[in-house]
A and B are shown apart, each in its own frame.
Chain A
């Protein structure tokens, strides 16, 4: 299995629904060490997230969700799809090493492509999000793509949120963003994804694409 080639999807959804968008890309570590309880909790949290965003009317119009996994290979599990059109996701399996560098590169490419589609169709968009969850660190080349991602984060062109699960190298994950990586408390994936869906709801109902959005507190899922 090789990495999924970059492909531009049909953008007719932008004509049917021209409301302001927020592209939300999840890059998930599905390496061997995530097998068992961690990936089970991740799957449960992810399903909860999909349902919550789909059931919030305004968020369902705004959120375009994409999912890329890094477990053995880099795989695009879900190309950018409107939250209103996602029913359930295929549970993720965990095995192999952690090609996080390649996964983030693919994520950045797809985010750029989706932004280009928004612009070409005259659809307004909120600052996109990249959520990066890992219980370790990249086993492939990552410094260059981390610098790219961090620059976008510093320029406020991309919200980059690195989350470390038990065993993660937080200082490496922090290099991908202008904000430091947060440590997930235990396996509180459900709580994290509840927080993420609440944050997406706030972004989606934000009055302006240029105002900063105040996010809910993270203390339900992070460990200080």
Chain B
């Protein structure tokens, strides 16, 4: 049997794999030939050689928790899989549908991937994301590495799915498994300077990363700490240098200022606070529920015609501004 086309389930039964779906730094993903809605993640041999035992223990703990996440929009590990020599090589998970959020939060790609996208739709996806994250947090799970390629959005609905879950941080039944990956421009300053596997992700660090995801999705993929004439985004992040808001220095030419101007006052204030004061002070960062409330009110206000719904508004917001008079006083 070809090592690339067959894996073995925990009972030792061989299972034929379908054609490879994806290949990344850690491993390859295949559908099961029999049930294409089930995927296998098979780690690369060199990854198993270095980290096999720890990957296996984490996966096995995740598998014991799978019932908790059955109704969550998360491709949670379901079963371990083995090779011909009965060596552990990876796990199965439910196949998720959708287009990566990477293409939503992109200046060009959203046009083909999300036909007739508008801001209502973007906000709906973001609220679904916040609900999914709250679901994970309630169970002691933190995402850690917020990679927009691992959030799938269903075109035409508000649904999202989270994939590539084996990197999540778990704190459950007295056991702790870190999230060993991340990138400095998505990570708050208090966690810089150490290996990602040495960091403990907190509510506050999650809030910071999530705020960056929200900003990118509302601002055509722009990173909040990209400033014209400014430093590298990581340096700007550490210094809390944010281009939008007071003074608006460093906002680039193009649609960015228009888009920013059309956002509700409340949302803009939250972004400003998170990315200036919140860069240094974890406790100053709004919670996921506060973001969800602000986004819900944004939807209500768009429905009333108070805010532009187009992805790229043609003009900046006029002086006559109703956004600060919202339904709920902050």
Contacts and interface: CB of A to CB of B under 8 A. Distances in A.
Contacts of A120: 228
Contact of A207 (B108, B109, B149, B251): B149
Contacts of B234: 210
Contact of A211 (B183, B220, B229, B255): B183
B109 A210 contact: no
B24 A214 contact: yes
Contacts of B308: none
Contacts of B102: 58, 205, 207
B136 to A, nearest CB: 19
B317 interface: no
A119 interface: yes
Interface in B155-187: 182-186
Interface stretch (A17-25, A37-45, A96-104): A17-25
- Point out which of B220, B229, B233, B254 has the most chain A C-beta atoms below 10 A from its C-beta: B254
Nearest to A210: B185
Interface in A61-96: 61
B144 interface: no
B106 interface: yes
Given A207-B147, A210-B183, A124 B223 contact: yes
Interface residues of B, number: 37
A122 B254 contact: yes
Contacts, number: 75
The dominant DSSP class at the B interface is loop
Contacts of B233: 124, 209-210
B107 interface: yes
A123 interface: yes
Interface in A12-65: 15, 17-20, 57-58, 61
Interface in B102-148: 102-103, 106-109, 112, 146-148
A37 B183 CA distance: 44
A208 interface: yes
A17 B108 contact: yes
A196 B294 CA distance: 44
Given A205-B149, A207-B148, A122 B256 contact: yes
A220 interface: no
A18 B226 contact: no
A117 to B, nearest CB: 12
Given A205-B149, A210-B234, 15 more contacts: A15-B254, A17-B108, A18-B252, A58-B106, A58-B109, A61-B108, A61-B109, A121-B252, A121-B253, A122-B227, A124-B222, A124-B226, A207-B183, A210-B183, A211-B182
Interface of B: 23-25, 102-103, 106-109, 112, 146-149, 182-186, 220-223, 226-229, 232-234, 250-256
Interface of A: 15, 17-20, 57-58, 61, 119-124, 205, 207-211, 214, 216
14 contacts: A17-B107, A17-B108, A18-B107, A18-B254, A19-B108, A19-B221, A20-B221, A119-B228, A121-B252, A124-B223, A207-B147, A210-B233, A211-B183, A214-B24
